[in-house]
Structure 1
Amino acid sequence: MLRDPKYNKGLAFTEKERDAHYLRGLLPPAVSTQQLQEKKLMNTLRQYQVPLQKYMALTELQERNRKLFYKLLIDNVEELLPIVYTPTVGEACQKFGSIFRRPQGLYISLKEKGKILEVLKNWPERSIQVIVVTDGERILGLGDLGCQGMGIPVGKLALYTALGGIRPSACLPITIDVGTNNEQLLNDEFYIGLRQRRATGQEYYELVREFMTAVKQNYGENVLVQFEDFANHNAFELLAKYRTTHLVFNDDIQGTASVVLAGVVAALKLIGGNLADHTFLFLGAGEAGTGIAELIALEISKKTKTPLEETRKKIWLVDSKGLIVSSRKESLQHFKKPWAHEHEPVKDLLGAVKAIKPTVLIGSSGVGRTFTKEVVEAVTSCNEKPLIMALSNPTSQSECTAEEAYTWSKGRAIFASGSPFDPFKYEGKVFVPGQANNAYIFPGFGLGVVISGAIRVHDDMLLAASEALACQVSQENYDKGLIYPPFSNIRKISAHIAANVAAKAYELGLATRLPRPENLVKYAESCMYSPIYRNYR
């Protein structure tokens, strides 16, 4: 019991439990409470100066005492989220080979081809509800980290449990290792993955197909597979291929889109008008950019009963070659083509801002410091209150900082970012930047899928998640310039998102858990995992 993280309570084993389970003498005489253990650990964590040390201490706790780890995370979510998730998890993945202690999750490499079902059966837990899988090719804004991308599925699933209440035993992190094109890793003696260039084409897709087939065979129709940090060229194809046959969700395309749409909908209270009244300009036309653009166009289309082809015209995208316009259509990747509108070519972002005069500027380029002073001033000059969203992670890749957005717009911008920024004081007023963090959406979304027994993910379920999140922003939040609610209420927020997503699944006939519960919010809350210690007889 002391060695199994599922049962271990450390000094919180009572006198009675110590006698009943032969623990007498194996622990010091003091008996502690979970609250006291939490206080002690938070004291210790706060003494570490380096975020990566905090990350390693939390990983070690997760492997020693699971309930205490989740209690810590739930009670101190705003403080610990940047440690277990962006930005620190990025550094952890870069150094994963060096800090690797005990394996977490399943590693499926090209060596396992033809045996993936057997490998899945090696996992000790039988009833899996959520799998997060990566191939490590595009980890945050850090590029190809190969097998070391495992930090991402592990971190995401910790949040599925802490923020969405999915049982830890029902979560499975997986890394598909097909090699890496990162020279530094291939030459690193501590690298833990396959030492070969990335497999592509048929070899790659066959391995993924075997994996997807084995997952369904082993865990059934209702297991949610979340694709995470796949490169653009595979992400869109895999999502399109498996969304009709499996319960799949791509967080970079759909989760990001849903959380950003929620922020935009919430921001309407501050910037005025309806969604259809606004003009959107994106810097970045990859998974995140096109995913967000499509979901915004879909929401406008639903609200105004206008065809999707028409609503897309409110949205413009800039990629590395400039504004995406119809004269470039022949050379564009397929996922960019719907955004090629009639307009003369524009070479750069500043030119695009001046030509398009957007009311909403969204950055998803993965390139830092691209919202320059000139760009922010140009957006501000044609708007009373411009909405500026610098979404790229980690902090070093953010298109601009909160301080820059508020200063250059003379305190007029409504700002949100992908990575956390501290509050900023400008001319006597304190501005609190919002964080458009996928952690608002995917845990609640996953819970909604699980409690309804949904068998497919429909775009309307993503819209339902966005609407539920936007409704959680209070007047008090708006007064501070926030367009997202504070993370301290995240479990309540997740329950509302789950209820909305489940309701939509029932409405669309995709739910299999029948009959439908009367009160879905209460039902979602009742299904959530609790990290409180139980008493052993």
Structure 2
Amino acid sequence: MSNEPTSRGYALLRDPRSNRGTAFSLEDRSRLGLEGLLPPQPSTLALQVARIHGELANLPEDIHKYLVLSDLQARNETLFYAVIMSDPATFMPLVYTPTVGEACQKFDHIFRAARGLYLPISAKGRLADLVANWPAHDVRFIVVTDGERILGLGDLGVGGMGIPIGKLSLYTACAGVPPETCLPVTLDVGTNNEALRNDPLYLGLRQERVRGQDYHAFIDEFVEAILARYPRACIQWEDFANQNAIPILATYKEKICTFNDDIQGTAAVALAGILAALHITGGRLPEQRVLFLGAGSAATGIAELIARAMTQEGISLEAARARNLLFDVNGLITTSRDDVMDFQKPFAIDHAPIDDFATAVRALRPTAIVGVSTVPKLFNQQVVEAMAELNERPIIFPYSNPTSRSECTAEEAYRWSNGKAVFASGSPFPPVQFNDKIFVPGQGNNVYIFPAMGMAIYATEASRVTDQMFILAARAVADQVDDESLAQGLIYPPQSRIFEASLQVAIRLAEHIFDEGLARVPHPGDIAAYVRARAYRPEYRA
């Protein structure tokens, strides 16, 4: 296939897929009608990357850096990914959490250019026509949100589009999924955020959220429209409220290639953290007792995946679930409570009521606590000290995003536990010096899971995404944490080598997909070479 641009002249400089900016050679400029439209001295891609590094270094606020990178993505996609992949540990927090949270909150006030598809419920009955307006002919990945539960920030309406855009950028930057195969989507069913509806700059429907049968009919129409045009696409559901996230996943997971990253991806990265932490704490997975602060879809998703992984080491599912305990705003989830939802019931235990989390820690004696409450500072000094008294190396995972919603900071966890904590958080924290030792906090970010899952699905054209694939992904991530990292308290692979780590996970997943007969392409023989050959790398092609 020819790599010759389809555009010429000034239009070519406005085509982000083909634009090379100042890297067009003198010969290309003559051939493509670009002479006089660029400064006369050509640059290399490496020089362009260095120029962007310098520009970003002079900006004081992360949100300003986010906007520069967004504008770059809109004009030169290759350069955008070359920048992100040149230093992923630095740039991932700028294009995704935590900076994307602020970008979503300010979406209507900083809107630059349209990206992705906006499908309003006012277009119900015509979604196929709107999907047909997307110019790509081979979309493989769709990240879709309805904006109701954006990170820990709540209902942001169409402002939630920042999440699908950011997630798909990481599909490419962290695992090599070709960007032209990715489509961000926002389903606008209204917003219950009255401040947004009253904001004259708000860009979404100014109505309360549609619920019930009309909502689910709209979801059905969306799925049908997508798969009619893009039959090989995988749909990732993102930041839906619990009342919709769980039934949507239950409806489609056995029918199409789909997953919910908040439920399944979060579960896998948490399981990976627990498995890696055991190399520090000792013990087997079925011996662990995990207490969750928060009892929504993320908590139950993590609890269920950990329980199923425990069963692979010799205990029953019922016994495994009993070792994963939930605590919400009304206290410990017990069988005697009358407000327990169906998806929480497998984890309800026969126990006296407890309405204080520190008390629950002392009573239940967990080896690990996992925060998915979206409420900051709930892992307070009492909680952390109790964990340190009960465990030689307590596992403390405040996973709520963004950083402002974290249940505790890394510094608090290390100080209050007297340096004993095995720590990982949802958003990044800097290294902590305590008692003459430097601790490197791990970031239990789904970025270790969903890009690799995406690359495996892209390479194999998998027909389904199974729970076992997430367990395998978790084990593959944990297996890559070396002794040097563990000595610093780091229980995830360094983000500086996220691309290679993701390819390793993708290869393991692809092997499983072929073994289980879920692939829709012929077996390639050498699966590792096949996956690596399919991975996108940011290069200007002649």
Partner of 1:517: 524
Q: What is the Cα deviation at residue 81 of structure 1? A: 0.8
Residues in 1 aligned to 2:99 and 2:370: alpha-carbon distance in whole angstroms: 23
Match of 2:260 among 250, 255, 265: 250
Aligned-partner Cα distance in 2 for 1:371–1:522: 45
Asked if 2 retains the 8 angstrom alpha-carbon contact of 1:388 and 1:415, the reply is yes
Q: Distance in 1 between matches of 2:434 and 2:528?
A: 40
The aligned counterpart of 1:494 is 502
Q: Which residue of 2 aligns with 1:56?
A: 67
Deviations 1:244-303 (A, max 9, x none): 211111000000000110111011110001101111111111111111000000000012
| Superposition pairs of residues 283-294 of structure 1, within 5 angstroms | 283-294=293-304
Q: Secondary structure of the equivalent of 2:508?
A: helix
Alignment of 1:366-381 (within 5 A): 366-381=374-389
Q: Which amino acid aligns with 2:308?
A: L
Q: Any conservation in 2 of the 1:318–1:348 contact (CA below 8 Å)?
A: no
Correspondence list, 1:36-47, <5 A: 36-47=47-58
2:5 maps to which residue?
none
Partner-residue secondary structure (3-state), 1:225? strand
Compute the displacement of 1:511 (Å). 1.5
1:198 to 201, 209, 220: 209
* In structure 1, distance between residues paired with 2:463 and 2:248: 17
Distance in 1 of aligned mates of 2:420 and 2:518? 44
- Structure 2: distance between partners of 1:163 and 1:455: 23
**Aligned structure 1 segments of 4 or more residues deviating by more than 6 angstroms:** none
Letter paired with 1:288: A
2:479 matched residue in structure 1: 471
1:9 to 12, 20, 24: 20
1:322 aligns with 2:324: no
The aligned amino acid for 1:389 is F
Residues 167-178 of structure 1: matches in 2 within 5 Å?
167-178=178-189
Deviations 1:458-488 (A, max 9, x none): 1111111111111111111111111001011
Q: Is the 8 A contact 1:433 1:482 kept in 2?
A: yes
**Which deviates the most, 498-507 or 437-446?**
498-507
Structure 1 residue 520, shift from structure 2 partner: 2.2
The equivalent residue for 1:342 is 350
- Pairing of 1:129-278 with structure 2 (within 5 A): 129-220=140-231, 222-278=232-288
Shift of 1:517: 2.5
SS in 2 for 1:365: coil
Q: CA shift at 1:225, angstroms?
A: 0.1
Which residue matches 1:84? 95
* SS in structure 2 of the partner of residue 362 of structure 1: strand
- Following the alignment from structure 2 to structure 1, what is the Cα–Cα distance between the partners of residues 120 and 104? 18
Amino acid at match of 1:534: R
Residue 336 of structure 2 aligns to a residue in which SS?
A: helix
Q: Which residue of 2 aligns with 1:69?
A: 80
1:529 aligns with 2:539: no
Q: 1:390 aligns with which of 387, 391, 398?
A: 398
Deviations 1:394-429 (A, max 9, x none): 111100000000000000111000000000000110
CA distance in 2: counterparts of 1:71 and 1:147, whole angstroms: 29
> Which residue identity is paired with 2:22?
L
- Give distance in 2, aligned partners of 1:506 and 1:319: 40
What's the TM-score, normalizing by structure 1?
0.98
Q: Which amino acid in the other structure matches residue 325 of structure 2?
A: W
> Deviation at 1:521?
2.4
1:116 to 118, 127, 132: 127
Cα distance in 1, alignment partners of residues 379 and 282 from structure 2: 23
Q: The residue matched to 2:291 in structure 1 has which SS?
A: strand
Question: SS at the partner of 1:175?
Answer: strand
Aligned amino acid, residue 340 of structure 2: L
Once residues 87 and 318 of structure 1 are traced to their aligned partners in structure 2, the CA distance between those partners, rounded to angstroms, is 25
* Aligned partner of residue 327 in structure 1, secondary structure: coil
* Alignment partner of 1:504 is 2:512: yes
Instruction: Measure, in 2, the Cα distance between the counterparts of 1:187 and 1:255.
Output: 35
Q: Which amino acid aligns with 1:316?
A: L
Q: How much has 1:15 moved relative to structure 2?
A: 1.2
TM-score, with normalisation over the residues of structure 2?
A: 0.97
- Letter matched to residue 103 of structure 1: A
Task: State the distance in 1 between where 2:495 and 2:531 align.
Answer: 18
- The answer to whether the 8 Å contact 1:391/1:419 transfers is yes
- What is the rounded CA distance, in whole Å, between the counterparts of 1:342 and 1:286 in structure 2? 20
Please state whether the residue corresponding to 1:400 is helix, strand or coil: coil
Q: Secondary structure at the match of 2:322?
A: helix
Distance (Å, rounded) in 2 between the aligned partners of 1:10 and 1:147: 31
**SS of match in other structure, 1:337:** helix
Shift of 1:106: 0.2
What code does the residue aligned with 2:288 have?
H
Structure 1 regions of 5+ residues with no counterpart? Answer: none
Segments of 5+ residues of structure 2 without an aligned counterpart are 1-11
Aligned-CA RMSD value = 0.9
Across the two proteins, how many residue pairs are aligned to each other? Answer: 531
